[in-house]
């Protein structure tokens, strides 16, 4: 009898001790969230506050206009339109957003990453060369490029957090739809983040990190600022 109770208690204890493995925090929907011990501090939700369900309407779950291009991103030859929680409130907490991108010929969506989401694209028009970089576990000084030339109807996925790009290698506008498994995927443009930060990364750090001289660093700052 004692042995039976011992085995039972051991099993229950093992379950309780391992319980944290089955629980986790929600993925963050902002870049930083600094904790404060201040009962008067403003509340910042991980997402947006919810409407009373009795007041929700079909329009909260509806968006129209993805059949036309969006706003132009100055200097990139890209037009983008996002369908997210700000223009479709019903997406809040569902962990999904999408959009449309129109890329002029020979223009590129520069190296970038989405820290909170995997991205999947579908080509509607044009020819796009797309790829992402995967760190090499055997040599952290190198990475492996996964890339494809995509045509209408083709689908490609960029795993969460990995650096990726899309290049319109054709002679006409390319159009694609992109999907994220987050309502706020985040966007980090690699060149701009490095060379146009405020305050700036010190020249010595950039020069040594990229094995360039300070004149070259100044030229890059000018290009990306």
Q: What is the pLDDT of residues 74-89, one digit of tens each?
A: 889 999 999 999 999 9
Cα(176)–Cα(121) distance, rounded to whole angstroms?
Answer: 6
pTM > 0.75: yes or no: yes
What digits encode the pLDDT tens for the residues 157-171? 999 999 999 999 999
Query: Which CATH code, of 2.60.120.10, 3.30.980.20, 3.30.1280.10, 3.90.1150.10, is assigned to 1-186?
Result: 2.60.120.10
Mean pLDDT of 199-225: 94
Token readout for 109 is 């969506």
Q: What is the pLDDT of residues 104-124, one digit of tens each?
A: 999 999 999 999 999 999 999
Domain ranges of the chain: 1-186
* Of 217, 188, 186, 215, nearest in space to 200 by CA: 217
Q: Please state whether the peptide bond connecting residue 199 to the residue before it is cis, i.e. omega within 30 degrees of 0.
A: yes
Contact 100, 66 (CB under 8 A): yes
| % the chain with pLDDT above 90 | 70
Question: Span 196-224, mean pLDDT?
Answer: 94
């Amino acid at each position: 009898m004692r042995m039976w109770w011992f085995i039972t208690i051991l099993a229950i204890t093992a379950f309780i001790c391992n319980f944290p493995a089955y629980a986790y925090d929600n993925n963050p929907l902002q870049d930083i969230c600094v904790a404060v011990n201040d009962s008067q501090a403003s509340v910042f939700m991980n997402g947006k506050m919810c409407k009373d369900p009795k007041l929700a309407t079909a329009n909260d779950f509806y968006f129209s206009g993805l059949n036309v291009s969006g706003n132009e991103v100055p200097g990139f030859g890209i037009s983008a339109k996002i369908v997210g929680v700000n223009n479709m409130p019903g997406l809040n907490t569902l962990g999904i957003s999408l959009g449309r991108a129109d890329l002029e010929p020979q223009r590129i969506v520069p190296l970038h990453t989405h820290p909170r989401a995997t991205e999947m694209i579908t080509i509607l028009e044009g020819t796009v060369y797309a790829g992402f970089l995967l760190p090499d576990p055997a040599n952290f000084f190198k990475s492996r490029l996964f890339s494809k030339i995509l045509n209408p109807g083709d689908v490609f996925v960029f795993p969460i957090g990995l650096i990726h790009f899309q290049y319109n290698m054709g002679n006409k506008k390319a159009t694609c739809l992109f999907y994220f498994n987050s309502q706020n995927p985040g966007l980090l443009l690699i060149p701009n983040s490095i060379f146009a930060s405020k305050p700036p990364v010190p020249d010595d750090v950039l020069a040594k990190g990229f094995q360039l001289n300070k004149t070259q660093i100044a030229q890059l700052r000018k290009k990306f600022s």
